[in-house]
Amino acid sequence: MVPNEGAQQASAGEGRSARISDEAELIPTLEMAFAPLHKAAFGVATGVAGAILMAALTIATLLSARAGAFPLGLLGQYFTGYSVTWGGVLVGALWGFAVAFVGGWFIAFCRNLALALVAFTYRTRAELDQTREFLDHI
């Protein structure tokens, strides 16, 4: 037996176990990174942000000395009942929530669909690569 052979085998075993432990830590991280988004939760989160933004814009326009410089009232053409008034803050917040909720839900849906298609493609290619030479061995 060569004197360094045991040391080389021990270091190779340690390297393999370190690599396996790194992979074991990496897999849950990747699963979380590529987990599908909950569409309703993402929609509510973006909806709340949209409602706060609409309310804040309306309040800032009401309290601003240069309110005429920013034509926020034109949103009344798209959002029924909206105007740059204190009552319009609530209507704008409701419309902001509704529009941002639908947008957020759709973004989550598209992301989940894209990830599912990519995962399906990779999984199918891997399965085909594994069975490519299957008929050659029969």
Spell out the per-residue pLDDT of the chain, length 138, in tens: 445 554 454 455 555 666 667 767 777 877 777 889 999 999 999 999 999 999 999 999 999 877 667 888 899 999 999 999 999 999 999 999 999 999 999 999 999 999 999 989 998 998 888 887 766 666
In a shared domain, residues 66 and 112: yes
Q: Whole-angstrom Cα distance, residue 89 to residue 76?
A: 12
Total domain count, the chain? 2
User: What secondary structure letter does DSSP report for 75?
Assistant: G
Q: Which residues contact 102 (CB under 8 A, 6 or more apart)?
A: 43
pLDDT value of position 64 = 85
Q: Whole-angstrom Cα distance, residue 47 to residue 102?
A: 8
In a shared domain, residues 7 and 44: no
pLDDT value of position 30 = 73
CA 119 and chain centroid, separation: 16
Domain span holding position 77: 35-137
User: What secondary structure letter does DSSP report for 35?
Assistant: P
In a shared domain, residues 95 and 131: yes
Tell me the two tokens of residue 80: 């029924």
pLDDT value of position 80 = 95
pLDDT value of position 1 = 47
In a shared domain, residues 8 and 23: yes
In a shared domain, residues 11 and 25: yes
